[in-house]
Amino acid sequence: MDGKNPYEVPTEMREFAEKSVEQARKAFDGFIGAAHKAVDTAHGSAESARANAQDAARKAIGYAENNIAAAFELAQKLVRSRDVSEVLQHQSEYLKTQVSAFQAQMKDLGVAVQEAAAKTAETAAKATKAK
């Protein structure tokens, strides 16, 4: 033997192993950093979506309240009606106003959903761009 310890790892092998470990650590750190950013982005988007869903729910509840109030108003008119023609007149007026209200409500909710989707997409795009 040439005087070297038979179990000694050559210097080149140790340097190569150290470089490999360091590269793996850097790759892992990059992966973890990207994962944190993705979680932050998802949280921001989820928070925005939650707020937009809350707004839409509030609108829907408001519409339901208005529709129920209109139904009670119709019921009062029907109870006070003196004859069948008056009942039919109240019912016809109610249907016309409710159809019109329903159309306006659906249009308003459609606009709200489009705005919410645009805001959510904008928030996600900003968060992705910040990466």
In the chain, what are the domain boundaries? 11-130
Taking the C-alpha atoms of residue 23 and residue 55, their distance in angstroms, rounded to an integer, is 48
Separation of alpha carbons 105 and 61, rounded Å: 11
Single pTM value for the model: 0.57
DSSP string, the chain: --SS-TTPPPHHHHHHHHHHHHHHHHHHHHHHHHHHHHHHHHHHHHHHHHHHHHHHHHHHHHHHHHHHHHHHHHHHHHHH--SHHHHHHHHHHHHHHHHHHHHHHHHHHHHHHHHHHHHHHHHHHHHHHH-
d(CA 112, CA 118): 10
Can you read off the two tokens belonging to residue 87? 């009942």
What pLDDT shows up at residue 43? 64
- Across the range 66-87, mean pLDDT stands at 91
- Each residue of 6-59: pLDDT tens digit? 667 688 877 888 888 888 888 888 888 887 777 666 666 667 777 777 787 888
